[in-house]
Amino acid sequence: MGYAPWPNEAVAALRARGINGVAGNYDSTVATHYEHCGCRYEDPRQEQLAHASYAWTLEHTSADSKRWLGALPFSLTVRAKGGHQSGAKLVLVHGTPVLNTVYWHAERDDDFCRSMAEKAQLKAGDLIVFGHTHHPWSRVVDGMTFVNTGSVGRPKDGDARAGYVIAEHRDGAWQLEFVRCAYDVETTAAAIIAAGLPQEFAEYVRSGGARLDPL
Ligand SMILES: [Fe+2]
């Protein structure tokens, strides 16, 4: 939704395909006209850019898109065989099971993961999937699997390709595949500039976040 010129088109694409998802901080703040986007920034220029993006997105997201975004759930749980037998579960959140604005980066220690697992009522064998930092990583702690998917629309690990994760439960274990998918970044960069968004956002998608600007 943020830092990019196609909020309504993104919503329409998800709706047309019936893709389930959870509310990211940008989704819930735009839907509720919250005072800021819930993004982190570390200096005045980043703050200025974050506010410019948020103001643009608030203005250009339709009432219908905002209604749809406002109805997104905070989390989704998928159970093996639909839940009529015991088995592993997959929990999906945006940031953490506590708030969608908390950054769960790879430097968080195992105790942080255990604490979040307790909030999500995970047990050994379960998987929790999240994003928000736009940096992909995974770890197993006490038999529970923690996966940050990275980002399709705005990677921040220096690789401009869209990133996502395929998680499959096979033979009693989670198989993870971290996928990177090249796309026409220049079309996106040109559309960002044509929309009147800051030039920095175009540079950001070109470099996969190698430039420092709003997180
Ligand atoms: Fe986020």
Residue 161 parent element (H or E): none
CA 37 to ligand 1 centroid distance, Å: 9
- Parallel, antiparallel, or unpaired: how do β-strands 144-148 and 137-141 relate? antiparallel
Q: Does pTM top 0.85 for this prediction?
A: yes
Residue span of the structural domain in which 61 resides? 7-71+184-207
Query: How far does residue 84's CA lie from ligand 1's centre (Å)?
Result: 33
For residue 27, is it within any domain? yes
Instruction: Find the CATH number of the domain harbouring 122.
Output: 3.60.21.10
Question: Which residues are in the CB-under-5-Å shell of ion ligand 1?
Answer: 24-25, 132
Helix, strand, or coil (residue 33): coil
In order along its 215 residues, the chain shows pLDDT tens digits of 999 999 999 999 999 999 999 999 999 999 999 999 988 888 888 889 999 999 999 999 999 999 999 999 999 999 988 889 889 999 999 999 999 999 999 999 999 999 999 999 999 999 999 999 999 999 999 999 999 999 999 999 999 999 999 999 998 899 999 999 999 999 999 999 999 999 999 999 999 997 654 44
For residues 141 and 191, membership in a common domain is answered with: no
Residue type, 34: Y
Q: Are residues 86 and 145 in the same domain?
A: yes
Would residue 213 count as lying in a domain?
A: no
Q: How many domains does the chain have?
A: 2
- Determine the distance separating the centroid of ligand 1 and the alpha carbon of 81, expressed in angstroms: 30
